[in-house]
Amino acid sequence: MPDADRPPAAAELVQRVCDWFPGAARDLPWRRPGTGAWPVMVSEFMLQQTPVARVLEPWRQWVERWPEPSALAADPVSEAIRAWGRLGYPRRAVRLHAAAVAITEHHGGVVPTDHDELLALPGVGGYTAAAVLSFAHRQRHVVLDTNVRRVLARTLDGRAHPDRSPTVAERRQAAALLPDDPARAAAWAASSMELGALVCTARSPACPRCPVADLCRWRALGHPAWDGPPRRGQTWQGTDRQCRGRLLAVLRDAVGTVPSAELLAAWPDRTQASRALAGLVADGLAVEDDHGVGLPGGGTGEAP
C-alpha cells in the first residue's frame, strides 16, 4: 500500500494503467482501427453527458448516413435535430451541424489536425479538441473528462471526487503526468478514461479489480468520504428540460409547421411550455413565425 502522504510515481501509474487497458477495454466502434477523425468527433459530441450505451446505435446511424462532414453540411440542420432523436441536450446536434458546415467551407471537408483550428469550430471546446486529436490522430494532449479527473483525484490527491470544474492546479497536474511520446500519451488518455468508466466509478468503485489499487492515495487513506459541495444527480420529471424535450419531439415528428397553440398544448403547464419554446427558439432548435413553429432549416424554411 502506498504512503498516504505521497502520491504514486507518475511513470508507474501510467505504465500499469496502459498495460491494463488492452485486456479490459470495451469494443467501442469509434475506437476500432481505421476509424477516421469525423466518426471520432461525432462520438465525442454524442458522449457529452450521455452514457455510452445510449450513444452506440445513434452513432452508427449517424455515421452511416453522414460518413463525412460534407454530407451532413449538405442537409438542413432540421435533419440533424431529427436524427439526434432522444439523446438529450439537442443543441449538440445544431453545433455538430455547424461544425460540419465550417469544416466543409473552410477545411476542404477534412477535420482539422491543428488544435487551434479544431478549437475554433462551433461546439468544440478544450476537451473535445484534445480528445479528437488524441484518439483520431494520436497527438499529445491532456484529455480531462469526468472519468479521468476522478481517477487522478483518487490516485494522486486521495479525494473521492474532483472539484466540480477543472482547476488550474488540476490541469497542471494532468499535464505533468502526460507521457512525452505522443502515441503513449494517447494511450494513457484512453486507458485512464476507461479505468474511470469501468473500475474507478463514482458510486461503486471496484478497487479489488483496479490495476493501481496499491498505488492509490484514496485507498491508502481508507477511502475518505467526499467533504465538498453536495453532489446531486440531475432531476428530469417536470423540469424545463423534460418540457423542452416534449415540445421538440412534436416538432421532430411533424411535417411542416405546428400551430403554436397546438404545440404548447403538448405540455400541461402553459407558462412552462411558453418558456421552454422561447428557449428552443433562442438555442436555434426551433423557429416561430405567423404560420407556427418548426425545426430550423426545415418546416418554416428559415435558417437557425
Q: What is the Cα–Cα distance from 251 to 257, expressed in whole angstroms?
A: 8
Q: What is the overall mean pLDDT for the chain?
A: 92
Average the pLDDT over each of 7-16, 53-62, 70-79 and give the range with the smallest value: 7-16
Instruction: Provide the 3-class DSSP secondary structure of residue 295.
Output: strand
Query: What is the rounded CA–CA span in Å between residue 259 and residue 300?
Result: 11
pLDDT at 157: 94
**258 strand-pairing partners:** 293
Asked if the model's pLDDT at residue 300 lies above 50, the reply is no
Check pLDDT > 60 for residue 91.
Answer: yes
- Given a cut of 90, whether residue 120 has pLDDT beyond it is yes
Distance in angstroms (rounded) separating the CA atoms of residues 82 and 65: 13
- The confidence score (pLDDT) of residue 226 equals 87
Nearby residues of 132 by Cβ (< 8 Å), 6 or more positions away: 37, 40, 41, 44, 111, 118, 124
Domains of the chain, by residue range, sit at 1-233, 240-294
- Whole-structure pTM over 0.85, yes or no? yes
Q: What CATH architecture is 1-233?
A: Orthogonal Bundle (1.10)
Is residue 25 within 8 A of residue 197, CB to CB? The reply is no
Catalytic sites, residue numbers: 44
Asked if the model's pLDDT at residue 299 lies above 50, the reply is: no
3-class SS at 258?
A: strand
Residue 82, CB half-sphere, CA atoms under 13 Å: how many? 19
Contact 187, 193 (CB under 8 A): no
Average pLDDT on 174-201 reads 96
Can you read off the three cell numbers belonging to residue 165?
470544474
